[in-house]
Amino acid sequence: VPRAMWIQQPIDYNRHALWGVSHSGRKHKHFYGYAVNRESARDVYSKRRIIAITELQIMEWHDYKHLDWILVRRDDDQIYKFKEGDFKRLRLQDIEDMLLLLVQGNLSNLTVEERLAFNVSLRMFTRSIVIKRRVEDLQLGVESYQKKLNLTKPDTYRPDLRLMRIDELHKFSDGTLNDVRNALDDHLKGIRMQYLPTTIWRRGDKERAAAMIQAIDKMLKTRRIMRSLEKFVGGRL
């Protein structure tokens, strides 16, 4: 395979296409770029689920509306505040939580104008992360194919000793990951199954297995949320 057919440099994103404003006017692009890059000084990350949108403030310029800040209630019954530019600093679970509140009609406390602005902002951000994830998946697929053709530097360990690695989980289907997870979990719990090896695991083996299970759970959850987000933006873009 000719080496020239592969892209040697990382793909650069057209940020306006990624934001969904590539066909908008110059003022809209400029203002949206300014809005999505305004971040809170405080840390906005939280593992608590978002259960309500309590209030939001709309920022408007030349008839273009974006969210200046958003107040949400999480499942610890505390109020949290962040900006539209903080979306990228939140967990994917937070984005899905807000989308569910929106599509299930649980924002009746907001005005029609506020719901519309929230819908547009959330949809545009969701579209951007779906596009970015698809580009990343494509790049990973190309890298995997290059390895199969021996177009990249070979691994330094013997192929017959190669095991599934955490940094390679993206290469495996949900079904395979679930099978591996279940096998590891059965072994950790001491469940004797015919398909499991009879060797005794040391403490280090158990710690690595637990870390692998945690990584698989995270990968499966991320994929589920991404499928949910893709449905929200209409599947194919």
User: Which of 223, 226, 219 lies closest to 169 in space, CA to CA?
Assistant: 219
Angstrom CA distances, 110 to 28, 72, 74, 75, 96, stand at 25, 12, 17, 20, 19
Residue 114 shares a structural domain with residue 188: no
- Whether 68 and 59 have beta carbons less than 8 Å apart is answered as yes
- Which region among 110-119, 126-135, 192-201 has the lowest average model confidence (pLDDT)? 192-201
3-state helix, strand, coil in the chain (%, to 5): 55, 10, 35
The answer to whether 118 touches 110, Cβ cutoff 8 Å, is yes
The CA distance from 88 to 195, in Å, is 42
> CA-to-CA distance for 129 and 30, rounded, in angstroms?
20
Close Cβ partners of 164 (under 8 Å, ≥ 6 residues apart)? 172, 180, 212
Q: In this structure, is residue 64 part of a structural domain?
A: yes
| Of 104-113, 172-181, 215-224, the least confident | 172-181
Residue 168 lies in a domain: yes
Residue 109 included in any domain: yes
Examine the domain organization and report whether 208 and 114 are in the same domain. Answer: no
Do the Cβ atoms of 76 and 85 come closer than 8 Å? no
Which of helix, strand or coil describes residue 120?
helix
Q: Quick one: pLDDT at residue 175?
A: 84
Render pLDDT for 29-88 as a digit per residue (tens, 0 to 9). 665 566 667 788 888 999 999 999 999 999 887 667 778 899 999 999 999 999 998 998
Residue 232: pLDDT band with limits 50, 70, 90: confident
pLDDT for res 157: 39
**What secondary structure letter does DSSP report for 201?**
P
Which of 25-29, 47-51, 179-183, 231-235 bottoms out in mean pLDDT, i.e. has the lowest? 25-29
The stretch 173-184 carries a mean pLDDT of 83
Task: Give the total number of structural domains in the chain.
Answer: 2
Mapping DSSP to helix (H, G, I), strand (E, B) and coil, where does residue 57 land?
Answer: strand
Higher confidence at residue 15 or residue 157? Answer: 15
CA 140 to chain CA mean position, Å: 15
Q: What is the pLDDT of residue 41?
A: 81
Average pLDDT of every residue of the chain: 75
Answer yes or no: is 68 within a domain: yes
Judge if 97 and 200 occupy the same domain: no
Identify the pLDDT of residue 184.
82
Query: Residue 234: what pLDDT?
Result: 67
Residue with tokens 């995270």: 218
Give the end of a domain, one of 102, 136, 170: 136
Is 113 in the same domain as 65? yes
Q: Which domain holds residue 25?
A: 18-136
Decide if pLDDT at 138 tops 60: no
Counting every residue, how long is the chain?
Answer: 237
Q: Is residue 177 assigned to a domain? A: yes
Last residue of a domain, one of 106, 136, 166: 136
| Average pLDDT estimate for 211-236 | 82
Q: What's residue 54's pLDDT?
A: 96
Of residues 204 and 152, which shows the higher confidence score? 204
The answer to whether residues 120 and 161 belong to one domain is no
Same-domain status, 65 and 114: yes
The whole-model pTM stands at 0.57
Q: What is the pLDDT of residue 129?
A: 83
**What's the pLDDT band for 191 if we cut at 50, 70, 90?**
low
The answer to whether residue 111 is domain-embedded is: yes
Question: Does the residue 71 lie in any domain?
Answer: yes
Matching residue, tokens 């090896």 = 197
Sheet containing 64-74, strands listed edge to edge, beginning at the edge strand earlier in sequence: 50-61, 64-74, 79-82
- Give the SS3 label for residue 234: coil
Please report the pLDDT score of residue 97 as a whole number.
Answer: 94
Residues 91 and 122 both lie in one domain? yes
Do 183 and 92 fall within a single domain? Answer: no
Q: Is residue 29 part of a domain?
A: yes
Domain end marker among 68, 102, 136: 136
Whether residues 28 and 99 fall in one domain: yes
65 lies in the same domain as 106: yes
Residues 99 and 29 both lie in one domain: yes
Q: Are residues 53 and 117 in the same domain?
A: yes
